Structure 1
């Protein structure tokens, strides 16, 4: 009986080891991403950090580098190493934006995604489709923007669209799948010496705050969700919040509403900006003094 039990147990160990090797060979490192990576040398922004966010930079919308802010948040793929180095030489830190949860038909890595991992279009963004974040191939591909960010010299990354479990993605992944993926991205960023921000995903903040160095939020005041961001403030990590003027594209801020907003934002300790929805640098109103 003892010999039979040992044989079965030994076989089970061999099978488990083989399965682990197969999973690793396929690039599925998720099982290794349980505890947060907290030890290492990377930028750790403080509560109240000042920032500017401009993702659209072209001939019509040049990058304004004259703001006296701690951090610039720019597009990873479109921003050159020279620009990043120049900003850092002027005393700024640089956050590099990329989409970690969607396929963009204009991005440099678009041809790497297999058809079966592409889901529904992102509402309002017809050039983007949701990704199946459970796929080992998606995990592998998404380490490449992190490698690029490290090569370019970014101080931090902003992986966007990491709340797909709440969206109409075309896939049936769960909140636990999203947690595992977000933790994977955060830990992989830290292993490359990069700070990492949690973009939105307010519903999972309490389970993710230990993994991320800051959070970037859109419109928590408009949607009455700001209280959900407070675990970051309590942990000594900044909330980078942006609100957009109401009235659609090309709308501009209303002075009276901005004053009320800024009083509330400053009371919470948020780093709040009012920016154009297109994030094209046309105007910038900061609540910080």
Structure 2
């Protein structure tokens, strides 16, 4: 029996299969899920000085402009997650992008040298500027963003800001981070926690114990999301017991936010 036609048919079928396999589009890699810190996760918050990586905690929160990708990689190699601090609510004269902010969005001084409040109503202007800042966080390998001053409407900024303006702005910041695969923390803004807990992946709070309003942050813990909390003036024995009961990640820091810390 002549098997040549059958072999030819077989080889042709194999060739077509190989051709189809080679020409098939390469599947897109599945994006990694965002990092979601859980309640009680210990952390270090250092915004001043060279980063000291000897603190035995799984999370570091450091300045996004002042720390390069090598610093982030060094922390990652030791198993840490790294949060990128940026100022989302005020212009800073000492940042490399300060000339890109038009005078029309600069308000009154906020009490820190070289800083002025931003007109958060101007989403058209501030969205691309904040997107570029968060792009820096992503490019340097950070896992999350801590956008500071998300409560401008509670301060004297020079602009007639309302709670609605703040909600819109904060949600914009959260979307910018999420679009880049980064988790994002709600900084202070306790009155709007109920509206924003679903938009943010964790909270960062200063001095809720001193002002007696830590309970406002419980929606984050109830949602399984970390509350990273610091006090500056209170000794640890006055707030740590309550902080632990609430499920917070609490410590005492000095205002310069250097290496020193007293954890609960």
Aligned residue pair count: 233
Asked if 2 retains the 8 angstrom alpha-carbon contact of 1:241 and 1:271, the reply is yes
Partner residue, 1:284:
261
Q: How far is the alpha carbon of 1:261 from its aligned partner?
A: 1.8
TM-score by length of 1: 0.79
Q: Is residue 151 of structure 1 aligned with residue 139 of structure 2?
A: yes
Asked if 1 retains the 8 angstrom alpha-carbon contact of 2:39 and 2:248, the reply is yes
d(CA) in 2 for partners of 1:111, 1:199:
25
Alpha carbons of structure 1 residues 114 and 274: separation in structure 2 relative to 1, 3 Å: same
- What secondary structure does 1:221 align onto? coil
- What secondary structure does 1:203 align onto? helix
User: Paired residue for 2:115, among 128, 133, 137?
Assistant: 128
Asked if 2 retains the 8 angstrom alpha-carbon contact of 1:46 and 1:237, the reply is yes
TM-score by length of 2: 0.86
Residues 89-143 of structure 1: CA deviation (Å, up to 9, x unaligned): 1000000101001000001110001111100000x21310011112111121111
d(CA) in 2 for partners of 1:224, 1:262:
13
Could you list the runs of 5+ residues in structure 2 that have no partner in the other structure? 1-30
Q: How far is the alpha carbon of 1:40 from its aligned partner?
A: 7.2
Partner residue, 1:4:
none
- What secondary structure does 2:113 align onto? strand
- What secondary structure does 1:107 align onto? coil
Displaced runs of 4+ in structure 1, greater than 6 A? none
Q: CA RMSD in A?
A: 1.3
Q: Choose 1 or 2 for highest CA Rg.
A: 2
Partner residue, 2:246:
268
d(CA) in 2 for partners of 1:173, 1:275:
31
Residues 34-72 of structure 1: CA deviation (Å, up to 9, x unaligned): xxxxx9721111111110000011xxxx32211111100
Partner residue, 1:55:
47
Asked if 1 retains the 8 angstrom alpha-carbon contact of 2:236 and 2:251, the reply is no
Q: How far is the alpha carbon of 1:260 from its aligned partner?
A: 3.4
